[in-house]
Amino acid sequence: MKAVSFVTDETHNRRYAQIDLKGIAKYNDEKLEDLMDIIIAEARKDEKSISWESVKAELIKEGKINVPDRHKAIRKKRA
């Protein structure tokens, strides 16, 4: 994306992103969403990973998602 440039430190690690607001105005929402995803991913790259199973278990515990009992559904189909 031409409207974005990066500033590096003395060891050539990317430290800052400069965004030309007039330059990105021509991009559609999908391209801008991709840009934001990249920026967020870069900012979080050193964070500890969490397994999907751990996240899912926490969401179920908090009542934020409802996972039906698959075994009951399978038994009902067989009956």
More confident call, 58 vs 66: 58
For the stretch 2-50, pLDDT in tens is 788 889 999 988 888 888 888 888 888 888 898 889 888 888 888 999 9
SS3 annotation, the chain:
CCCEEEEECCCCCEEEEEECHHHHCCCCHHHHHHHHHHHHHHHCCCCCCCCHHHHHHHHHHCCCCCCCCHHHHHHHHHC
pLDDT at 76 over 90: no
d(CA 14, CA 27): 23
More confident call, 52 vs 39: 52
**Is there a contact between 4 and 18 (Cβ–Cβ < 8 Å)?**
yes
